[in-house]
Homo-oligomer: A and B are copies of this chain.
């Protein structure tokens, strides 16, 4: 859909109303991905991972986006998302730049975010952004569509410079949701995948953007039911639970973790997001003991059920779990999965899936 709205009018729209404008030209919200898209992304991530195992395959993959330049504009703290995107870009041969501090950018001279994004677009072919303002990513998307600069994709499409939301405000972190889905699907492969399974989500469900996005994506998996284990003040908000109700996803609040463990096909832990608290209340709040996963809880967990966490973690996960010899402890593998999911996402966004086919064929030959 052509962008016929002013910036102000576009930002007034709900996420759902923005979707037809976005199409597949940017990655702003988890709900852009329906089940076929999710399945395709998981399959592409698996293929990239396999291809990179041989030096010849890695070499061919690094040619696919070789003369493109990416900007990683991360002005909120981040280690893993930043590194994950960087590594994914390097796998595909993208040139990379980063801006991590507003003080070293022209915003310190009074430039607006929209003008800064317009400037980025003059130089780069992709903007990945993490920002504290939840309107930053849609504003960047609006700017890219209104700017004259276009890039030509290998499949012939002429498109605005793509924007990827790598986390904005408390609302959305769509690529985290994608990698969570990928990790769940991979971990549950031997038991038939995600469909029909029970997920236990625990911790700060109110402000954890990853757990909010993931819950919404579960509407794409028939028969999934959700257990929300959280202190009352951090329980999942009605905007999500209402949407789950409308989609027919069953869910239930729990006031402790242990009750849910024997029922769960997968457990997804999160930390208290106290960086959103007012400064004077901040200071690494200790996790409520009823929502801490301790090493002995592994005994309550079903044999096929993976233990996930978007990380960084604090005391809601017993450190004794970190290097235990148990395949169910999956949160470190989850990080690496994220890199491969982002490789797949970049290929899809740049219309380069055919180049992947060709790289595979050449490597097999």
Give residues in A with beta carbon < 8 Å to B: 52, 55, 58-59, 62, 66-67, 69, 71, 74, 77-80, 83-84, 86-87, 90, 95, 97, 99-101, 103-111, 115-116, 118-120, 122-124, 146-149, 271, 275, 284, 311-314, 322-323, 332-333, 335-336, 339
Query: Do B90 and A77 touch (CB < 8 A)?
Result: no
Most buried by B among A59, A79, A80: A79
Query: Do B311 and A275 touch (CB < 8 A)?
Result: no
Query: Do B314 and A110 touch (CB < 8 A)?
Result: yes
Query: Do B149 and A312 touch (CB < 8 A)?
Result: no
- Per the bound structure, the CA–CA distance linking A323 and B66 in Å amounts to 30
- Number of copies of chain A assembled together: 3
Q: For A106, what are the chain B residues with a Cβ–Cβ distance below 8 Å?
A: 77-80, 311-312
- Per the bound structure, the CA–CA distance linking A335 and B108 in Å amounts to 19
Closest CB-CB distance, A24 to chain B, in whole Å?
23
Contact of A87 among B80, B100, B108, B124 (CB under 8 A): B124
CB-nearest residue of chain B to A146 = B323
Query: Do A332 and B59 touch (CB < 8 A)?
Result: no
Query: Do B104 and A335 touch (CB < 8 A)?
Result: no
Q: For A78, what are the chain B residues with a Cβ–Cβ distance below 8 Å?
A: 104-106
Q: For A105, what are the chain B residues with a Cβ–Cβ distance below 8 Å?
A: 77-79
Q: For A86, what are the chain B residues with a Cβ–Cβ distance below 8 Å?
A: 69, 97, 123
Query: Do A118 and B77 touch (CB < 8 A)?
Result: no
- Per the bound structure, the CA–CA distance linking A117 and B113 in Å amounts to 33
Most buried by B among A59, A104, A147, A284: A104
- Per the bound structure, the CA–CA distance linking A339 and B284 in Å amounts to 41
Contact of A335 among B119, B146, B313 (CB under 8 A): B119
Q: For A90, what are the chain B residues with a Cβ–Cβ distance below 8 Å?
A: 69, 95
- Per the bound structure, the CA–CA distance linking A62 and B65 in Å amounts to 13
10 contacts between A and B (CB under 8 A): A69-B87, A79-B106, A80-B123, A83-B97, A101-B101, A106-B311, A108-B275, A111-B314, A119-B311, A123-B335
